[in-house]
Structure 1
Amino acid sequence: MHGRAKAPAAGTILNALATGVGSAFAIDTETTATVELDDSGEIRGEIAENPDADARLIERCVELVLETEDSEFGATVRTESDIPMAAGLKSSSAAANATVLATLSALDVEMRREDACRIGVQAARDVGVTVTGAFDDASASMLGGVTVTDNAEDELLARDEVDWDVLVWSPPEQSFSADADVSRCRQVAPMADLVADLALDGEYGRAMTVNGFAFCGALGFSADPMVDAMPDVDGVSLSGTGPSFVAVGGREVLEDVREKWNSLEGTTWLTTTQTGGTRTI
C-alpha cells in the first residue's frame, strides 16, 4: 500500500521536435515520488516544491497504473525534486517515471521498465505537457545512460552506458515544452537527421553540439553559452526546449567553463551521468 521511487533528470543530445527521433542522457539529479494507496477511490497529487502547481501529470500516472492493474484503489502521490521545473532538464519525465514505479511498488507489481516508461509517456500526452511524447527523455531517465528513440513509435533504437562529468547552467526563466514552436523546429530537420546519425554512431558529444546550435536558432536562444564552453568540452547543447544548457567533458575543463557560466544569471552546478535509471527505494 506504500511505494517510493527515485528518477534522474536528463540532458539533451537530440531534440525530437524536428523529426520525432530524439536522444538524451540521464544525469545525477533526482525526483522522488511517494505513493500511498487507500480506499477513497480518488487520486490526489502534490508537488512539494510548489503545492499550488499543476499535479495532473503525476495523478494521471497513478491512474493509468491502477487501470492497467484493474485496481480500484485511490491514492495520494507526492513528489520532491532537486530538478528545476520547466528548465529543459526533463523534470516531467522524472516525475512521471518515479510516480509510475512508486505506484507499481505500492501494488507489489513488477513490470519491464520500458513498459513502465511508456505509461508515464502516455500520461504526459494525456495531460498535454509534451509535444512529442518525450520517450527519449523518459527512457533516458527510466533506463539510465544514453538512449536514442523514435518518439512516434515509442521505440528504443539504442541504449549505451556513459561515464561523463556534466556541467549544467539553468537560468531563472522557464520554458515549457508544450509551448515550443514546432514548425520552427521542423525547419532544422536536416540537421536533426545528421545529429541522429552521429548519436547512433556513438558520437554523442559532436551530436549534442550540432543539436545545440540548430535548436538555439530554431527556438530563439543565444548560443553564447555554447561558444563560451568550446572548444575544449566534449559536447555542449541547449537542453530540451531550454532554457538550460548542458556540457560534458573532463572535470577540469568543466570547472573552467563553470567560471564563465557563473557570470550568467541563474544556477550552475557540476554533476555526473547516471546509469542506473529509475529505481524503487
Structure 2
Amino acid sequence: MNGTAVAPAAGTVLNALATGTGSAFAIDTELRAEVQLTAEDGITGTIADDPDAETALIERCVELVTERFGDGEGGTVRTESDIPLASGLKSSSAAANATVLATLSALNVAEEVSKADAARIGVQAARDVGVTVTGAFDDASASMLGGVTVTDNTADELLAHEAVEWDVLVWTPPERAYSAAADVERCQQIAPMAELVAEMAMEGEYGRAMTVNGLAFAAALGFSPDPLLEAMAHVEGVSLSGTGPSVTAIGNREDLERVRESWAQREGRTWFTTTQNTGATT
C-alpha cells in the first residue's frame, strides 16, 4: 500500500508563541512525502535532504493515521523537500501534512478526512514528539489549506481562512533555529503587541500585521531588525518568519526587487516565490 503527497511551506503573519493565536500564509515551495505500508511492525523514516535529521515527527504521523484508520500497519516514510530545514518556513508542518495525507492515501481513506482534520493529526504528532511549543496549527493549517489562515492554537480552531495573491521575497540566512528551543517567556512578554497583530489579521490587514509581528518577535527572539527596516519603506508587509531565522516580505514584484538588491548583500539565500492557495495535495 503506497501513497504520496506534497505540502507547501509557509510564512508568518503572527507568531502564536505570545498568546496562542497565530496566522500564516502558504508559499509556493514544496515538500514531498512517500509512504509505503506493510504488515510488518515498526515505521522507518528517511529525510532525503538530511539523512542525519530527526525522523520522529514523520514516523509518528504514520503511526497516528494507521492507528485511527488502519490496522496499525508498519512501513516506511520518505520526505524530499525544497524547503530549508529549521529556517522558520514551516518545514515541520509541511512534513507532517504531506506524511499524513500520503498515509491516508495509502489506506485509501483520504476522501473520508477533511484537510483541516488531517492537519490536526499532524499537529498532534508534533506535540507528541516535542517539535512544537504551541502545536503550530497556524502553520499546519496554512500549509494544508493554502492561502492565509488565522487560528487559535490552544484549541486547534480555524478562525479565518482566505486566498491571497502576493509576490513573496524570502531571505534565509545560513544558520538554523528550532521552534522548540525558542524562549517562550520572552515571547509572552510581548503579548499586548501580539493581540494588536491578531486584531489586524482578523480585519484582513495582513501586511501591517506582519510588520508589527516582525519587529516585536525579532526583539523577543534576539534577531537583528535591520532586514525588516531595509524593507519596510518598499513592501506591504515584512516579518521574521516563525522563530527565524528567515525573513519574508510581501508586495508587488517591482518593489520587492529593490529589497532583494539589499538583502542579497547579506550572507545566505535571497529568493522570490508567491503565495500558494491550493494547499497540500495527494
Q: Decide which of 246, 249, 252 is 1:244's aligned counterpart.
A: 246
What is the CA distance between 1:55 and its match in structure 2? 0.3
1:47-62 equivalences in 2 (<5 Å): 47-62=47-62
Tell me how far apart the structure 2 counterparts of residues 230 and 22 of structure 1 sit (CA, whole Å): 22
Report the residue type matching 1:25 in the other structure: F
* Alignment coverage as a number of residue pairs: 280
Structure 2 matches for 1:51-200, cutoff 5 A?
51-109=51-109, 110=111, 111-200=113-202
* Residue number in structure 1 paired with 2:270: 268
Deviation at 1:69, TM superposition (A): 1.1
Secondary structure of the residue aligned to 1:147 is: strand
How far apart are 1:50 and its partner, in Å? 1.0
Q: Normalising by the residue count of structure 2, what TM-score does the alignment of the two structures yield?
A: 0.99
Q: Which residue of 1 aligns with 2:18?
A: 18
Q: Deviations over 1:8-55 (max 9, x none)?
A: 000000000000000000000000000011121210100001111110
What 5-or-longer segments of structure 2 have no aligned partner? none
Displacement after TM superposition at 1:136 (Å): 0.2
Between the aligned partners of 1:145 and 1:26, the Cα distance in structure 2 is 5
Q: Distance in 2 between matches of 1:116 and 1:250?
A: 33
Match for 1:228 among 227, 230, 235? 230
Contact 2:141 2:149 in 1 (8 A): yes
Alignment TM-score, normalising by the size of structure 1: 0.99
User: What is the one-letter code of the residue matched to 2:131?
Assistant: V
**Do the aligned partners of 2:234 and 2:259 also contact (CA within 8 Å) in 1?**
no
The question of 1:255 aligning with 2:254 is answered no
Q: 2: CA distance between counterparts of 1:71 and 1:209?
A: 47
1:230, distance to aligned residue in structure 2 (A)? 1.8
Q: What amino acid sits opposite 1:247 in the alignment?
A: A
- Output the amino acid matched with 2:187: C
Report the CA distance between 1:232 and its aligned residue. Answer: 1.7
Secondary structure at the residue paired with 2:254? helix
The amino acid of 2:30's aligned partner reads: E
- Report the 3-state secondary structure (helix = DSSP H, G, I; strand = E; otherwise coil) of the residue aligned with 1:35: strand
Which residue does 1:218 correspond to in 2? 220
Structure-2 separation of matches of 1:202 and 1:50: 37
Please report how far the alpha carbon of residue 246 of structure 1 lies from its aligned counterpart in structure 2 after TM superposition: 0.1
Contact 2:34 2:102 in 1 (8 A): yes
Matched residue SS, 1:279: coil
1:133-165, CA deviations, whole angstroms, 9 ceiling, x for partnerless residues? 000000000000000000000000000110000
Output the CA distance in 1 between the equivalents of 2:41 and 2:108: 19
Q: Is the 8 A contact 2:234 2:258 kept in 1?
A: no
Distance in 1 (CA, whole Å) between partners of 2:144 and 2:60 is: 18
Q: CA deviation at 1:70?
A: 3.9
Give the structure 2 partner of residue 38 of structure 1: 38
Residue segments in structure 1 that go unaligned for 5+ positions in a row: none
What is the CA RMSD across the aligned residues, in angstroms? 0.6
Distance 1:185 1:133 in 2: 16
CA distance in 1, matches of 2:240, 2:232: 14
Distance in 2 separating the partners of 1:72 and 1:255:
50
The one-letter code sitting in structure 2 at the alignment partner of 1:72 is: G
Contact in 1 for aligned 2:70/2:107 (Cα 8 Å): no
Deviations 1:167-224 (A, max 9, x none): 0000000000000000000000000000000000000000000000000110010000
